[in-house]
Amino acid sequence: MAAIKPRHIPSRLLFEKLGSLEVYRLAPWVEAAGITRTVYKRWLNKKANAHRKRDKRRCARRGRRFEYTAVDYRRAVHRAVWMSLGFDAYTGEYVHWNLLKDDLAKDGGGKAGVEERRRTALRPSIDHPNPTSASPRFVICSARTNDCKSDLTVDELKKFARLILKPRGTRRR
């Protein structure tokens, strides 16, 4: 049975006010995985900054104006976490939120080995459903799904998956 996806999550669930500061409220499944607010905030900043930098570069290459702030990106990633209900947007698999710590431990250099990639296959990852868009609209998926999807649109990914699943003798050459 597929999870019922919310269309909108009220801001009061996403954020709480501490004085004049806006604090990102942890989703229950993130908190249940033993992730602290500090670890989550570091992960959120890392992902939001990386996607913003990439999108800004893509806009510059296409000669388009980029008008989104780091706050816009942090809010969009945080909203995607809540909208996911803890699951991969494409496969419906439960994402292993406890692996956020492993994501932060990576130094960013070099490629992970095969065993490491298998161990962290269900680590939460951020995806642009439309990779040509520079707007901060994201979904949560597993690292394995995101590696497979890469820069494909959702329709291109579905078409490719159908091709893979097609019996070998029925493929056009």
Residue 142 near residue 90 (C-beta atoms within 8 A): no
Tell me whether residue 5 is in a domain: no
With a CB cutoff of 8 Å and minimum separation 6, the contacts of 77 are: 44, 47, 48, 51, 126, 136, 138
Tell me whether residue 25 is in a domain: yes
Reported as a single tens digit per residue, the pLDDT across 54-105 is 999 988 888 888 899 999 999 999 999 999 999 999 999 999 999 988 776 6
Q: What's the confidence (pLDDT) of residue 15?
A: 67
Tell me whether residue 145 is in a domain: yes
Tell me whether residue 2 is in a domain: no
Tell me whether residue 3 is in a domain: no
Tell me whether residue 51 is in a domain: yes
The tally of domains found in the chain comes to 1
Give the global pTM: 0.81
Residue 7 pLDDT class (50, 70, 90 cuts): low
Range of the domain at 114: 11-170
Tell me whether residue 6 is in a domain: no
